[in-house]
Amino acid sequence: MPAESVLGLQWGDEGKGKIVDLLAQKADYVVRYHGGNNAGHTVVVGSKKHFFHLIPCGIFHKNTKALISNGVIIDLEVLVKEMDILLKEKLNLKNKLFISPRCHLILPYHKNLDAAYENARGKNKLGTTKRGIGPAYSDKVSYNGLRVYDLADWNDFTEKFTFQAKIKNKILKTFGVKPVNITAELKKLKKLRSRIMPFVKDTFEMLNDAAANKKRILFEGAHGIMLDLDWSPYPFATGSNTVVGSVNTGSGLAYRQLGNVIGIVKAFTSRVGGGPLPTELHGRLADAIRERGGEYGTTTGRARRIGWLDLEAVRFSCKINNVNELVITKLDILSGLLELKACTGYTLNGKKIHYSDCGYKELAKVKPVYKTFPGWIEDISGIRKFSKLPKECRDYLNFIGKFLGVKIKFVSVGAERNANVKF
């Protein structure tokens, strides 16, 4: 069976964690292939919430193996903390969790540099998570990165880390930031190294063998498409490519082996951090949606900005990723609103303009073209059949599918694993 990929089609926080967890019930492998611990996925099992930043969400399923492949950048401290949480849940990670030796490392000086750059920007802050993502990717492409591979030879790693830390400390001093204590950090890293090395294995061969044997493989996208390094309104982006093509570069599985591409769309829009958000709402309505939906960052805890559903942006995401199916999430949060709006296009200076034509300056100035829908008052969280949804709700969903030209697979109406409406 061809592999499947789950992608967030907006600015992140679409509810990918729940959907990956749900689909992983039938998967042999679930794979993280890009990004770092700036991603945050939430899985609700019963009354308990589980938060993942690096480990793939499907790891709870008995027969599912979790792979962190080469495109992921790893903060060892975060990874070990997640492992410890799973161990407390009596989950045996042996032959369950696998980490590619090609993964680059987020190191202490990366986090310090991230914060220093962001603070230095003043009013022009990008809204980074200050997790060291950008500086780690910068080191990767400038041949200054250190990988899990380097940890195998501790003496060699010590030499490389010391060299890089001395350079980074000089930069930190120019920002007036306290330099990294090389000796203390190496001591911490050595302990973390001992925890993860038993799980290091070549994930390339694992995945390609799995594909050859027709195993079910599920790829877990970490960030929304609107944050892609090349296709976002740069520089308001994450440090990696989030489009479906990064499955190949981030895992080694050939693109031809990728079958279904499932796009996750929140029934409204949200984002964390700076950058333009054409359909952004303010005031009481935004506050009400935010509070009802628990729209606070899993990674940062920051309040998310709220907006109406931006179908112009989502249409772009569908095209660039050749999305086959849609999952609409958090539809239940919109219950009780008298009316809803969906953006069907942009104008700039009175002329029609597409998302793909916009940089961040244009995107900040565009005027959304809205279609207005009547709302519904019914609580839909307990509904499991499409025909049982209020007419107004069905009309809203049908319009989304028709506008995007993509079939809706199902609709999420709650945080729980099985709170879904079959379409």
Q: Is residue 46's pLDDT more than 70?
A: no
Confidence category of residue 273, pLDDT binned at 50, 70, 90: confident
CATH 1.10.300.10 fits 104-146+153-196, yes or no: yes
| Percent of the chain residues past pLDDT 70, beyond the cut | 97
Rounded to an integer, the average pLDDT of 8-34 is: 92
- 218 DSSP β-pair partners: 4, 30
Residue 280: how many other CB atoms lie within 10 Å:
16
Q: Which residue has the tokens 């594909």?
A: 211
**pLDDT averaged over the chain?**
93
Confidence category of residue 226, pLDDT binned at 50, 70, 90: very high
Residue type, 290: R
List the single range of 49-58, 193-202, 400-409 with lowest mean pLDDT.
49-58
Please state which CATH number belongs to domain 3-101+201-262.
3.40.440.10
Strand duo 29-32 + 258-266: pairing: unpaired
CATH of 266-422, one of 3.40.50.2300, 3.90.170.10, 3.30.540.10, 3.40.30.10: 3.90.170.10
pLDDT of residue 182: 97
pLDDT of residue 120: 80
Among 402, 416, 421, 412, residue whose Cα is nearest residue 6? 412
Helix (H, G, I), strand (E, B) or coil at 381: coil
Question: What is the torsion angle, in degrees rounded to the nearest 10, for the CA atoms of residue 122, residue 124, residue 130 and residue 132?
Answer: -110
Q: What is the pLDDT of residues 76-121, one digit of tens each?
A: 999 999 999 999 888 899 999 999 999 999 999 999 998 888 888 8
Degrees, nearest 5: CA angle 238-242-246:
130
Rounded to an integer, the average pLDDT of 64-71 is: 96
Among 346, 348, 270, residue whose Cα is nearest residue 315? 346
Active site residues: 13, 41
Q: Is residue 51's pLDDT more than 90?
A: no
- 264 DSSP β-pair partners: 8, 327
Q: Where in the chain is the domain with CATH 3.90.170.10?
A: 266-422
Q: What is the pLDDT of residues 321-361, one digit of tens each?
A: 999 999 999 999 999 999 999 999 999 999 999 999 999 99
Rounded to an integer, the average pLDDT of 281-310 is: 89
Confidence category of residue 272, pLDDT binned at 50, 70, 90: confident
Confidence category of residue 299, pLDDT binned at 50, 70, 90: low
Q: Where in the chain is the domain with CATH 3.40.440.10?
A: 3-101+201-262
Distance, CA of 254 to CA of 173 (rounded, Å): 44
| Percent of the chain residues past pLDDT 90, beyond the cut | 77
Helix (H, G, I), strand (E, B) or coil at 350: coil
pTM: 0.92
pLDDT of residue 209: 95
Helix (H, G, I), strand (E, B) or coil at 377: coil
pLDDT of residue 118: 85
Confidence category of residue 274, pLDDT binned at 50, 70, 90: confident
Strand duo 351-353 + 339-348: pairing: antiparallel
pLDDT of residue 298: 65
